Amino acid sequence: MDKQEEESMIGVCPNCGKPFRIESTGGDGWRYCAEVCVNPSAIPAGARLQADQATLHFVDGSMHEYTREEYIKVHGIDPLPIWRAIEQWREEQMKKWKVEA
């Protein structure tokens, strides 16, 4: 098992779209999914880029807006890798259903 496989990754459930952490356990090929958070409102529901094009605000499931640092302080999880995984999953879904004209 190489070093990359030993690291945990963030994935998105293809059924419900909920992000989860994928960690290597056991022998080769064994993986399990552990939820990032038991509180669904802590999962980022959106992100908004500010006018300065450098500041990203995250919106949680309760529709409260936070900077990345505030989000970590309030919910205890980093929203950026989760949000990037959600964006990547959405892009893959759009490519999957794209109709060639």
Residue pair 78/72 in contact (Cβ under 8 Å)? The answer is: yes
pLDDT of residue 44: 81
Low-confidence ranges of the chain (pLDDT < 70): 1-40, 100-101
**Predicted pLDDT at 21:** 63
pTM confidence score: 0.56
Say what the pLDDT of residue 53 is.
Answer: 78
d(CA 60, CA 15): 20
Q: What confidence score (pLDDT) does residue 87 get?
A: 87
Neighbours of 75 (CB within 10 A): 21
* Domain spans of the chain, in order of start: 3-97
